[in-house]
């Protein structure tokens, strides 16, 4: 089965050169290829590519399992359209609450310095940048392909992008001056990597998802670096699968971090995401969102 699409483009009826409804033909092809949202995807492909070899090439890529976002070259994340190059992590809507939490944390501060760690395309940085009243946003990734893509998005949405290992990729001038680090970290445990949907497993580098034995090695690395880069009252905003919450709490506690969660087990209704509308399927309910701080909250 070919994975689902979450790219929000306008639907419009399209006829091919011979006057036959191209939309229906394309829906049939995508359905045959196993696309779950064939109607939506067909409309997006027709809106993006005019009839001819370019469209045919795009449809073939999709039929062969290339994620729709890579075929289209873009994705919509938290209402912002960002370029997504081939081999760059496809922004997931499940990560959108990170933007809300980040902006909520920023609200009480007069001017904010936010960094998006492991930025991929820079989707989170773009959405935070769009919602931030006053402040600067920077983004870091270790993958040069992702950095090139994020730089294009940064030029459009107003953030700088650096290459390197988490915080250590930032300019030295950021040391001790970061208010909020937002990070959708790789967190898939080694034993579960093979269970990821096949099209994304082959289309995205392993390092975008692989989190070591328990999935939490990237979190350990980020928290280890964070003391040097965050302000004393700075926070790390991140997420994990619900099944990793105990592990995340242990990793944080061992290193002296305070943990607040949204969607976590300590809440009365752990899956009541109140102001997080637009959550579109049950998968989204299986994540926990964290605000980690060294200062007591
Ligand atoms: C789960 S993806 C999230 C991408 C992006 N934030 C998003 O939401 O679309 C994790 C990202 O972390 C990056 N990454 C992995 N290891 C890294 C490291 N040591 N330093 C910086 N970035 C890293 C990957 O290249 C990937 O882009």
**Confidence check: pLDDT of 270 > 60:** no
Closest approach atom of ligand 1 to CA 221? 19
Task: Identify the residue whose C-alpha is closest to ligand 1 atom 4.
Answer: 120
How many CB atoms within 10 Å of residue 95?
23
Task: Identify the residue whose C-alpha is closest to ligand 1 atom 12.
Answer: 118
What are the φ/ψ torsions at residue 131 (nearest 5 degrees)? -95, -10
Indicate whether residue 47 lines ligand 1 (CB < 6 A).
no
For residue 266, the model assigns a pLDDT of 65
Between 47 and 281, name the one with better pLDDT. 47
Residue with token string 């299986």: 286
Token pair in block for residue 176: 């001790």
The whole-angstrom separation of Cα 39 and Cα 105 is: 39
pLDDT class for 275, splitting at 50, 70, 90? very low
pLDDT class for 10, splitting at 50, 70, 90? very low
The whole-angstrom separation of Cα 173 and Cα 89 is: 28
Helices 53-63 and 38-48: crossing angle, nearest 10°? Answer: 150
For residue 138, the model assigns a pLDDT of 98
Listed residue (204, 166, 208, 209) closest to 189, CA to CA: 209
Q: Largest Cα–Cα distance of the chain, in whole Å?
A: 67
Least confident of 119-128, 201-210, 275-284: 275-284
Q: Which residues contact 120 (CB under 8 A, 6 or more apart)?
A: 88, 89, 91, 141, 146, 149, 150, 184, 208
Listed residue (218, 191, 213, 292) closest to 249, CA to CA: 292
For residue 199, the model assigns a pLDDT of 72
Token pair in block for residue 21: 């409804």
Q: Within the chain, how many helices (H) and strands (E) appear?
A: 10, 9
Give distance in angstroms: CA of 35 to centre of ligand 1.
Answer: 27
> What whole-number percentage of the chain has pLDDT above 90?
79
Indicate whether residue 84 lines ligand 1 (CB < 6 A).
no
Task: Identify the residue whose C-alpha is closest to ligand 1 atom 20.
Answer: 165
Q: Do 85 and 91 touch, CB atoms closer than 8 A?
A: no
pLDDT digits (tens, 9 = 90+) for 69-107: 999 999 999 999 999 999 999 999 999 999 999 999 999
Mutate which of 125, 207, 210 to test ligand 1's pocket (most atoms within 8 Å of Cβ)?
207
Q: CB-hemisphere CA count at 13 Å for 155?
A: 6
pLDDT digits (tens, 9 = 90+) for 52-69: 999 999 999 999 999 999
Closest approach atom of ligand 1 to CA 165? 20
For residue 262, the model assigns a pLDDT of 87
């Amino acid at each position: 089965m070919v994975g689902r699409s979450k790219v929000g483009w306008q639907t419009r009826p399209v006829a091919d050169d011979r006057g036959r409804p191209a939309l229906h033909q394309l829906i049939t092809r995508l359905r045959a290829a196993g696309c779950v949202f064939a109607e939506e995807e067909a409309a997006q492909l027709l809106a993006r590519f005019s009839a001819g070899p370019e469209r045919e090439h795009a449809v073939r890529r999709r039929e062969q399992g290339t994620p729709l976002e890579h075929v289209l070259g873009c994705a919509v994340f938290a209402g912002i359209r960002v370029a997504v190059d081939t081999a760059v992590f496809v922004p997931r809507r499940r990560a959108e609450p990170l933007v809300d939490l980040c902006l909520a944390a920023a609200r009480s501060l007069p001017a904010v310095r936010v960094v998006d760690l492991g930025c991929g395309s820079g989707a989170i940085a773009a959405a935070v940048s769009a919602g931030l009243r006053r402040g600067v946003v920077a983004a870091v990734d270790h993958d040069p392909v992702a950095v090139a893509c994020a730089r294009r998005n940064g030029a459009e949405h107003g953030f700088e992008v650096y290459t390197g290992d988490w915080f250590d990729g930032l300019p030295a001038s950021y040391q001790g001056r970061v208010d909020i680090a937002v990070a959708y970290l790789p967190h898939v445990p080694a034993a579960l990597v093979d269970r990821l949907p096949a099209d994304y497993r082959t289309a995205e580098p392993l390092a975008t998802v692989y989190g070591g034995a328990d999935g939490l090695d990237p979190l350990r690395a980020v928290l280890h670096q964070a003391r040097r880069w965050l302000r004393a009252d700075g926070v790390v905003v991140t997420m994990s699968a619900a099944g990793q919450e105990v592990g995340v709490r242990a990793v944080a506690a061992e290193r002296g971090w305070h943990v607040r969660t949204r969607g976590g087990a300590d809440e009365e209704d752990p899956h009541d995401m109140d102001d997080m509308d637009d959550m579109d399927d049950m998968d989204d309910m299986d994540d926990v969102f964290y605000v980690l701080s060294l200062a007591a909250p």
